[in-house]
Structure 1
Amino acid sequence: MYDVVLFDLFGVIARHQSPAAKGVLAATAGAPATEFWDVYWRLRAPYDAGQVTGAEYWRRVATALGTTFDDERVDALVVADVASWSAVDDDMVALVERTAAAGVRLALLSNIPEELASHYERHHGRWLRHFDLVAFSCRIGRAKPNPDAYRWCCNELGVTPGRVLFIDDRAENLDAAGRLGLHTHLFTGPAATARAIEPAGPQPTSTA
């Protein structure tokens, strides 16, 4: 069925930003929430792709908000941003560990900036080690839903798209992967994901 299960990170294994964490970020920026989040996401892609540093990203955010951030404010925003994306779903971590123990080949593809990627490597190495490939957008220079992100992963894994099951919580990412021939599963929770990946891994060869 599949040779590799390719996981998204945020919204699947790691949790999205909580309302409290989002409030801390907007307050740290000193900007109205609606305006802040519009700029935050509108300028995010180059940061996730590793084309700008955290300091450069936050100074671009400041300019778009019509203000400036000094070094201390930039540092505080980087810390708050990393903290806002740091919570993981323990049930999904357990599923990753069980799936790896069953001999299924795993990979990870995430849109993530360098500061956050480094945080996950420092604090979540226990379960990241189960992935044969960890493709962080800031390191590979490609981000979902750009088709090159999926192609890069398939090339690095040495498999064709049709041998990959991709799990993500965003329809646009799944649609892009599906158009390349990857099998896809919309993440709704650990139980449904466990059922989706049960056929994964090498299949027995018939001797008939």
Structure 2
Amino acid sequence: MKAVLFDMFGVIARLQSPESRAALQAVAGGDPDRFWEAYWAQRAPYDRGDVDGPAYWQGVCADLGTTPDERLTRDLIAADLASWSEVDDRAVALLAELADRGVVLGLLSNIPEELAARYEATQPWLERFAVRGLSCRIGSAKPDAAAYNWCLRELGLPPGEVLFVDDREDNVRAARELGMRVHLFTGPEALRTALRAVLETGPA
């Protein structure tokens, strides 16, 4: 193994908490089930960078039969970004350990531009990644093969020399089908154990 390619949300950064989801829903108003259906139905183009934040929220609200004004759009974007901004310090510490051992680190994240810019402005540990495959910048998102292949090209490595780490089974399955080694993330300690097995002969 020459490199570890990390997912971000659900691995390094936390998924939306019940509290942050409630805060976002409070800004949006209306029926929660309809809101979250529209939220996810419109998300893929936003993650790929096909639309920006205001256009995304226009689409979500259109699905709900409403038209947001500038202030509501701004508030929705702010609440959405806040809901994805909590980081797991244990995972960040593991990144530092791997980098210190000489392991090449890559990142493959489904992330919209506004959130990518927020992380770049606030999270210095992003500099540890030799390759950052941010869906909004590469024009493809997991589990599309194009997203993984972009990272492999940038890493300059064949699939079998890269370990892909993600918390979603569909994303892990897609990486495995391309020939990558995979780890379905359930927590930092389980990942640490898995990494120990592949690194026990020394730095990659």
TM-score category (smaller protein) = over 0.9
The counterpart of 1:177, out of the listed 175, 178, 187, is: 175
SS at match of 1:60: helix
The one-character-per-residue Cα deviations of 1:123-148 (angstroms, maximum 9, x if unpaired) are: 002x1111101111000001000011
Gaps of 5+ in 1: none
The one-character-per-residue Cα deviations of 1:155-181 (angstroms, maximum 9, x if unpaired) are: 111011111100000000000010000
Verify the 8 A CA contact 1:4 1:200 in the aligned structure 2. Answer: no
Distance 2:200 2:112 in 1: 31
Distance 1:202 1:73 in 2: 55
The change in CA–CA distance for 1:123 and 1:201 in structure 2 (over 3 A counts) is farther
Query: Equivalent residue for 1:58?
Result: 57
Query: Equivalent residue for 1:113?
Result: 112
Distance 1:136 1:154 in 2: 13
Superposition RMSD on alpha carbons, in Å? 1.3
Letter in 2 for 1:86: S
> For residues 4-153 of structure 1, what are the structure 2 equivalents within 5 Å?
4-125=3-124, 127-153=125-151
Number of matched pairs: 202
Verify the 8 A CA contact 1:5 1:197 in the aligned structure 2. Answer: no
Identity over aligned residues, as a percent?
Answer: 52
The counterpart of 1:162, out of the listed 160, 163, 177, is: 160
SS at match of 1:165: strand
Gaps of 5+ in 2: none
Verify the 8 A CA contact 1:55 1:74 in the aligned structure 2. Answer: yes
Letter in 2 for 1:129: E
Distance 1:157 1:165 in 2: 12
TM-score between both structures, scaled by the size of structure 1? 0.94
Query: Equivalent residue for 2:187?
Result: 189
Letter in 2 for 1:164: V
